[in-house]
Amino acid sequence: MYRLLVWSSKGGVGKTTSVANLGPALARRGNRVLLVGFDAHQPDLEMTFGIEDDDDVTRIEDLLAGSADPLTATIEIDDPMAPTRDHKPGGSLRLLATSERLLALTADVAATGRFDALDRLLAGLDETADIALIDTTGAVTPLTRMAMFAADGILFCGEPGVYEAKTIARRLDELDELGVEAGHAITPVGMLFVRTNARSRQLRAWATAFADPEQFPSGPLYVFQTHIRQQSSVRDHPGYGVPTVFADPGGRVAHDYAAAAKELEARLAQLAQDQAA
Ligand SMILES: Nc1ncnc2c1ncn2[C@@H]1O[C@H](COP(=O)(O)OP(=O)(O)OP(=O)(O)O)[C@@H](O)[C@H]1O
Ligand SMILES: [Mg+2]
């Protein structure tokens, strides 16, 4: 199971929305997908799929406390989109949930330095899925550190702009050190522009910033050709303020995430090939 952390340098950018849409899109392409909700401050991913904080389901904090079996803890999620002929067989979608109770572990994790707890937990689920998408908070906290230790790769989500390139460049520097501490490489998988409403010429100019060797001395960051466009109907949605699974399958955001899932598959295959060579 490849573990992909979806992350941004800022909050409220579209991480959870990306996980909630990329997950089903990858499942439709025949992948067994595990969504991992790891944002204890705002369990938005859980809410998106209708799981409330007081629902009686096993959570990551229960698993970390050793009071439940990870193999029975994941929850099957129904695809919000009806099956079509394009959907490949074999895909599935499951969710590993968290709640605000996870926050109680923060101080303990920081004090004991047990940043590898999620890493070890997910290792137990290795055979159950092809890819895990981890959603966490944008702030750098002990829990984010745990999420990073658990990740094989990081997919950055961001709004295009030069400021974004600078911040991400700084994060990439930290990633190498973090990988050494975690004991395995944490690969920068790429940058996915989300909520874009800019012209394509502007987007190309921003993408070039990520290839600037002055800003990215350790090599350019792959920028996804697919951009997730801004969808105004999201603002009019009754669920605005909480992330939304884009119920409108014909909507352009759903279309963009389908394309992003395809590009992500190709990118991960390329990285695996590079690593094997
Ligand atoms: N493509 C889009 N078009 C329009 N609105 C969007 C789009 N993607 C996300 N949003 C909206 O932007 C808001 C923030 O998105 P989201 O919650 O996914 O961000 P986040 O990075 O997970 O935030 P946080 O850091 O708080 O966890 C949500 O209200 C969401 O519905
Ligand atoms: Mg979020």
Tens of pLDDT, residues 104-157:
888 888 888 889 999 999 999 999 999 999 999 988 889 999 999 999 999 999
The tokens for 246 are: 């884009």
Ligand 1 lined by 136 (C-beta under 6 Å): no
Site of tokens 């991992």: 36
The tokens for 96 are: 């590993």
Sign, CA dihedral 59-31-44-187, equals positive
Percent of all residues in the chain with a pLDDT value above 90, rounded to a whole number: 55
Ligand 1 lined by 230 (C-beta under 6 Å): yes
CB contact at 8 A, 125 and 71:
yes
Site of tokens 């695996």: 272
Does the pLDDT at position 165 exceed 90?
A: no
Instruction: Report helix, strand or coil for 89.
Output: coil
- Closest ligand 1 atom, residue 12 Cα: 23
Tens of pLDDT, residues 83-111:
888 889 999 999 999 999 999 888 888 88
Tens of pLDDT, residues 209-227:
888 888 887 788 899 999 9
Ligand 1 lined by 195 (C-beta under 6 Å): yes
Probe target for ligand 1 pocket from 6, 8, 9, 13, with the most ligand atoms within 8 Å of CB:
13
Which helix (H) or strand (E) element contains residue 173? helix 162-182
Q: Which comes out higher in pLDDT, residue 19 or 54?
A: 19
- How many angstroms separate the Cα of 247 from the Cα of each of 34, 80, 137, 210? 20, 6, 24, 33
CATH number for the domain that contains residue 38: 3.40.50.300
- Bridge partners of 96, per DSSP, are 36
Which pLDDT belongs to residue 242?
59
Shortest CA distance to 257 belongs to which of 213, 226, 221?
226
Q: How far is CA 240 from the centre of its chain?
A: 20
Tens of pLDDT, residues 179-189:
999 999 999 99
Global pTM value:
0.94
Ligand 1 lined by 44 (C-beta under 6 Å): yes
Sign, CA dihedral 253-258-259-264, equals positive
Shortest CA distance to 193 belongs to which of 241, 162, 166, 158?
158
Domain that holds residue 169: 2-276
Residue 148's φ and ψ, nearest 5 degrees, are: -70, -40
Overall number of domains in the chain: 1
Shortest CA distance to 14 belongs to which of 206, 265, 260?
260
